[in-house]
């Protein structure tokens, strides 16, 4: 089914056509001055230009036709020719009925797009930092949003598991346990099936190794050499790498799960190793790969560039593959496996040059047909602390995901006790609720910002049950659940909708009707923050309605049933949107 705005746009377009103007001037938008009308059409102004007539004249002619439509309550003209339109309450209720029956009005696309979301981007053996956290939160939301509106979306974590970080860790393990079989002169399988390191060990090994390499160029050189040998298939290093990989992935999975982040694919840079030689070969053959200062590169600068864009380096002087190489080979693999319409890369905006290089190289070399497959970098900004500087732990270090989760839960418990939430529940239920509240605080706090902007991670504000926060949404949704439970206990009927009688009730219905458009806009603009705005506005409008209307005490049964249907549909919309944002709602609080 079409959204209310679409239905009205079609009708108004017909009115333009019937008045002798082009129907393309008909589309309406939700009014930005609701006191003048629910919807507005600014088409008369553009039509006046195209038809060289007076806009008010056009608005008057078209308005007369709009007024005659059966669903219209009121039409007026403002200023030079803006048309304001309001719908009949009975029609609004009728539309709400179809919406609640038909998947909240969300239509599936005639031809769903095949989409890959590359997000998360954790680096094996290296602690996750808040940038990875943002990548995971925003990417997960985009993945779920695409799915909610009917696209075929696959999420891939694209692990950083093939670069110098691996060489550093392996060479540090060698320094400590040089006697392990992985380091023997002619190391050959079979190797021990048990990993010599745990996830906890790795938390310490990488920072130590990286500090050592920073201080000592010889250590760095050694790590490079190990990386090179690993990439060329050294059996001992490969076996050790596999252990490090598996241990890290198990640990990452567990952490991501606590944040409701689920990847379909756990592929990484290393999964491109088989493809790299053939890729290099074919790019060289075709003349796309060229020697430059000892390295093999693809030039990606274009005549209109306003600043110099360095070439994408395929192979360094020592023959090692780099970040750009694995990204290019990953596109080859994704084209083979999925032939997607779109690949979204949710990665820190400071990597934007890298993605310009990779995307240009992919198009230039014909790996991707630009007409067929879109490549987009969704660059996000930095998460700053309340001091305005990139978020760190109190001792200035990088916050580990586990510690962050612990911090979220503690903060959630603090705010819960402040408002008497879950006070008398047993510890297990309380802990479950605290996790949901904490995750809601974090995710809503993050996602309510435009992705590209830096934002301040102010957990105290995010965890509050008041204002535009995740916990406030949970609270509203849980309250609706409780109303619906009580209604069932009291044997009340739910639905159908009847025409709204108050402004508060009408406002909720109109907000609900806007849901499909909101989802589409948020997807088109890759902007989950629109959904945060929407779900917060919907929740506030519902709270206002609930304040003024005593649903369970309403004597008029038909009204009560309609209000309960309104409650149920609002809950469904909140659940849908919070689900997209990766936020879970408890049954009670
Ligand atoms: N591992 C990278 C990093 O930590 C992010 C990977 C993003 N995805 C990609 N296809 N390059 O910066």
Domain-embedded: residue 557: no
The verdict on residue 179 lying in a domain is yes
> 267 alpha carbon to ligand 1 midpoint, in Å?
12
Ligand 1 atom 12, closest CA: 121
| pLDDT, tens digit (0-9, with 9 covering 90-100), for 190-240 | 999 999 999 999 989 999 999 999 999 999 999 999 999 999 999 999 999
CB 368 within 8 A of CB 331: yes
In tens, the pLDDT along 461-506 reads 999 999 999 999 999 999 999 999 999 999 999 999 999 999 999 9
Tally of domains in the chain: 2
pLDDT tens for each residue of 305-350? 999 999 999 999 888 889 999 999 999 999 999 999 999 999 999 9
For residue 354, give the ligand 1 atom closest to its CA.
11
Region 283-293 average pLDDT = 97
pLDDT at 399 over 90: no
Q: Which of 87, 113, 143 is the last residue of a domain?
A: 87
Structural domain contains residue 228: yes
- Measured CA angle at 381 (ends 379, 387), to 5 deg: 170
Q: Is the predicted pLDDT of residue 396 greater than 90, yes or no? A: no
Average pLDDT across the chain, whole number: 95
| Residue 43: domain span | 4-87
Pocket test for ligand 1, best of 138, 142, 156, 160 (most atoms within 8 A of CB): 160
pLDDT at 297: 98
Give exposure, 174-204, as e/b (b: 16+ Cβ within 10 Å): beeeeebebbeeebeeebeeebbbebebbee
In this structure, what are the phi and psi dihedrals at residue 529, rounded to the nearest 5 degrees? -65, -25
User: How much is the pLDDT for 208?
Assistant: 95
Q: Is residue 455 part of a domain?
A: no
| Residue 20 domain flag | yes
C-alpha 128/C-alpha 97 separation (Å) is: 47
CA-closest candidate to residue 553, choices 480, 498, 492: 492
Final residue in a domain of this structure, among 214, 229, 258: 258
pLDDT-above-90 percentage for the chain: 93
User: Would you state the pLDDT for residue 391?
Assistant: 85
Per-residue model confidence (pLDDT) at position 130? 76
Among residues 60, 87, 114, the one where a domain terminates is 87
Report, as an integer, the average pLDDT of 435-462: 96
| Whether pLDDT at 397 is above 80 | no
pLDDT at 403 over 90: no
Q: How far is the CA of 363 from the centre of ligand 1 (A)?
A: 20
Per-residue model confidence (pLDDT) at position 22: 95
Query: What is the reported pLDDT for 2?
Result: 86
**345 found inside a domain:** no
The CA 160 to ligand 1 mean position distance, Å, reads: 6
347 CA to centre of ligand 1 in angstroms: 6
Q: With a 6 A CB cut-off, is 582 part of the ligand 1 pocket? A: no
Tell me the per-residue pLDDT of 179-191, one tens digit each, with 9 for 90 and over.
Answer: 999 999 999 999 9
Lowest mean pLDDT among 32-46, 120-134, 261-275: 120-134
CATH of the domain at 80: 3.30.1360.70
Digit-coded pLDDT (tens) for 346-387? 999 999 999 999 999 999 999 999 999 999 999 999 999 989
CB 23 within 8 A of CB 62: no
- The reply to whether ligand 1 has any atom less than 6 angstroms from the CB of 347 is yes
Does 317 fall in a domain? no
Q: Please answer whether residues 409 and 438 qualify as being in contact, where contact means their C-beta atoms are separated by less than 8 angstroms.
A: yes
Would you say residue 373 lies in a domain? no
How many angstroms does the Cα of residue 350 sit away from the middle of ligand 1? 11
Does ligand 1 come within 6 angstroms of the Cβ of 345?
yes
CB of residue 123 inside a 6 A radius of ligand 1: yes
Q: Are 477 and 574 in contact (CB under 8 A)?
A: yes
- Degrees to nearest 5, angle at CA 221 with 233 and 197: 60
Question: Is the C-beta atom of 327 inside 6 A of ligand 1?
Answer: yes
Among 351, 361, 376, name the best residue to mutate to test ligand 1's pocket (greatest count of ligand atoms within 8 A of Cβ): 351
């Amino acid at each position: 089914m079409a959204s209310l705005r679409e239905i009205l746009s079609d009708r108004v377009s017909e009115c333009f056509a019937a008045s002798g103007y082009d129907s393309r001037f008909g589309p309406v938008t939700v009014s930005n001055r609701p006191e003048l009308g629910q919807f507005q059409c600014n088409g008369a102004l553009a039509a006046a230009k195209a038809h060289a007539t007076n806009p008010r004249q056009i608005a008057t002619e078209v308005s007369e036709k709009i007024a005659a439509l059966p669903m219209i309550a009121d039409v007026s003209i403002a200023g030079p020719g803006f048309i304001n339109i309001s719908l009949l309450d009975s029609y609004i209720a009728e539309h709400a009925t179809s919406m609640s029956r038909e998947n909240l009005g969300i239509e599936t696309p005639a031809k769903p797009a095949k989409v890959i979301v590359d997000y998360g981007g954790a680096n094996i053996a290296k602690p996750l930092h808040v940038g990875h956290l943002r990548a995971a939160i925003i990417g997960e939301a985009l993945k779920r949003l695409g799915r909610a509106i009917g696209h075929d979306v696959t999420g891939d974590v694209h692990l950083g598991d093939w670069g110098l970080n691996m060489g550093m860790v392996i060479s540090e393990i060698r320094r400590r346990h040089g006697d392990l079989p992985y380091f023997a002169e002619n190391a050959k399988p079979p190797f021990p099936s048990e990993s010599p390191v745990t996830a906890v060990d790795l938390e310490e090994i990488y920072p130590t190794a990286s500090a050592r390499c920073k201080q000592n160029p010889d250590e760095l050189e050694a790590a490079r050499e190990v990386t090179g040998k690993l990439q060329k298939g050294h059996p001992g290093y490969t076996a050790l790498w596999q252990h490090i990989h598996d241990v890290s992935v198990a640990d990452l999975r567990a952490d991501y799960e606590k944040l409701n982040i689920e990847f379909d694919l756990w592929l990484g840079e290393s999964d491109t190793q088989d493809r790299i030689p053939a890729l290099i070969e074919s790019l060289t053959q075709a003349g796309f790969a060229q020697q430059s200062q000892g390295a093999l590169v693809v030039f990606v600068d274009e005549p209109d560039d306003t600043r110099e864009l360095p070439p994408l380096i395929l192979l360094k002087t020592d023959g090692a593959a780099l970040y750009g190489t694995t990204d290019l080979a990953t596109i080859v693999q994704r084209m083979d496996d999925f032939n997607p319409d779109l690949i979204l890369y949710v990665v820190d905006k400071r990597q934007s040059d890298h993605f310009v290089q990779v995307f240009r190289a992919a198009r230039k070399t014909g790996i991707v047909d630009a007409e067929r497959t879109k490549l987009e970098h969704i660059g996000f900004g930095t998460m700053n602390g309340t001091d305005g500087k990139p978020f760190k732990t109190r001792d200035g270090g990088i916050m580990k995901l586990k510690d962050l989760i612990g911090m979220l839960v503690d903060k959630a418990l603090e705010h819960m006790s402040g408002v008497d939430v879950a006070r008398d529940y047993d510890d297990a239920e309380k802990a479950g609720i605290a996790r949901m509240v904490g995750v809601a605080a974090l995710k809503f706090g993050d996602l309510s910002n435009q992705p590209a902007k830096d934002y301040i991670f102010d957990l105290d504000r995010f965890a509050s049950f008041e204002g535009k926060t995740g916990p406030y949404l949970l609270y509203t949704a849980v309250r609706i659940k409780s109303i619906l439970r009580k209604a069932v206990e009291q044997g009340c009927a739910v639905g159908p909708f009847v025409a709204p009688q108050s402004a508060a009730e009408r406002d909720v219905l109109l907000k609900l009707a806007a849901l499909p458009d909101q989802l589409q806009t948020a997807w088109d603009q890759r902007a989950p923050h629109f959904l945060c705005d929407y779900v917060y506005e919907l929740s506030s409008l519902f709270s206002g309605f609930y304040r003024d209307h005593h649903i369970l005490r309403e004597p008029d049964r038909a009204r009560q049933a309609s209000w309960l249907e309104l409650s149920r549909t609002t809950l469904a919309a909140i659940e849908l949107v919070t689900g997209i944002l990766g936020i879970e709602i408890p049954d009670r609080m």
